[in-house]
Amino acid sequence: MSVENQSTSCAIAGGGYAGLATAIELHRYAPHIRVTLFDKRKNHQKLTQWHKLARGKNIKDFEVPFQSLAQRFKFTFVQQDIDLDKLLQKPHETLLRKFDAVVVAQGSLSPHTMPGVVTLDMLRDDPNAIAKVRTIEKEHIAVVGAGPTGVQFAFELAARGNKVELIEAQDRVLPSFDASVGECAVKEAQKQNITLHLNTEFIRFEKPELILRKGNETARSTADYVLFVPGVRANPAFNCDLYGRITEISGERPECLFYAAGDNSYFSGRGLNAKSAQAAVRKGQAVARTLAADLSGKAAPEYVYQELGYFVSLGPKNAVGYLLSQKSAFSGRGALFMKEAVEKQYDLYLNGLPVYL
């Protein structure tokens, strides 16, 4: 039976790239579904620009109040820190009302670490940590983790006149990409006097002493400030089918339909599963279409999105990345233009333009 004309409702837990894309697509293609978006924060955070805090930029440049997005895309916003384990067992009790469908899109968190270091989660929420990274100058900084987040922060911090050491446990920079991307970044790092420590594990920071491990040897160095960004983890994380439906909901008959999107989800099939904003947006869109199809008894389209490219900023004046093939890495003005164009595209999306077709 088609329920398109009946009042159906959907809850979205988490309003990052994935959750917001779900809300925007439902507004566009299934406006009959009443959407409530829950987030523990007051503002949507454009994380792909977060490294610009170390350029001295104001956090307000990268945040959008959920209330203004709720007005634009006609959803209800509720600020609530959701107990995600309970949500999966008892969604109605957790969200204090009944929903036909729930999309879980809580993203990921920084890994646990020792005291004394600064994590990405602190740079998202702690005003003192944010104030410090916006103003830090002429200090000796260790950045742990040479993935996109570590590389982007390292170049910003070096451009402000700090002495930067970039520490990576694996044998190359940007290890999740083809080696050519990292090689481009290494050449630029040398020009910025960023010191690289590859095959080096961070053990602890006892200010000012930095304790590292290289093979079986303990190595010591010093630092005034340690930024610990060796990657992020999603907990819980979900296996989904080809369409974004969670496949492993335990317990008896679930109270509603469950979907996941973003960093916390792995979709089976050939679509992109990277922990990236572009995968999060596309999965959020896919889940919106699946959910609308499920609630109206229609067939859902498969998630097939393939990556078009990826760009990592190397300070205010440079970037590195590739289009279509990771083997085609390039840096310089063209890459910087592409990186900024990707950010503009997302801003247009949040303003209501259909830029991700």
- Contacting residues toward ligand FAD, per CB under 6 A: 13-19, 38-41, 45, 47-48, 50-51, 81-82, 84, 105-107, 120, 148-149, 152, 262-263, 275-278, 280
Q: Measured from the CB of residue 239, what is the shortest distance to ligand FAD in angstroms?
A: 15
Q: Measured from the CB of residue 39, what is the shortest distance to ligand FAD in angstroms?
A: 4
Shorter beta-carbon distance to ligand FAD: residue 95 or 257: 95
Q: Measured from the CB of residue 59, what is the shortest distance to ligand FAD in angstroms?
A: 13
Residue keyed to tokens 């481009």? 184
Shorter beta-carbon distance to ligand FAD: residue 223 or 229: 229
Instruction: Please say whether the beta carbons of 42 and 70 come within 8 A.
Output: no
Q: Measured from the CB of residue 298, what is the shortest distance to ligand FAD in angstroms?
A: 26
Residue keyed to tokens 């945040």? 63
Sequence-distant (6+) residues with CB within 8 A of 143 are 150, 153, 154, 157, 164, 165, 166, 167, 226, 227, 229
Residue nearest to ligand FAD (CB): 16
Q: Measured from the CB of residue 313, what is the shortest distance to ligand FAD in angstroms?
A: 7
Shorter beta-carbon distance to ligand FAD: residue 6 or 67: 67
Shorter beta-carbon distance to ligand FAD: residue 46 or 197: 46
Shorter beta-carbon distance to ligand FAD: residue 299 or 357: 357
How far apart CA 36 and CA 18 sit, in angstroms, is 14
| Structural tokens at position 48 | 């792909």
Q: Measured from the CB of residue 198, what is the shortest distance to ligand FAD in angstroms?
A: 21
Shorter beta-carbon distance to ligand FAD: residue 196 or 279: 279
Shorter beta-carbon distance to ligand FAD: residue 47 or 292: 47
Shorter beta-carbon distance to ligand FAD: residue 212 or 227: 227
How far apart CA 36 and CA 30 sit, in angstroms, is 14
Q: Measured from the CB of residue 51, what is the shortest distance to ligand FAD in angstroms?
A: 5
Q: Measured from the CB of residue 219, what is the shortest distance to ligand FAD in angstroms?
A: 27
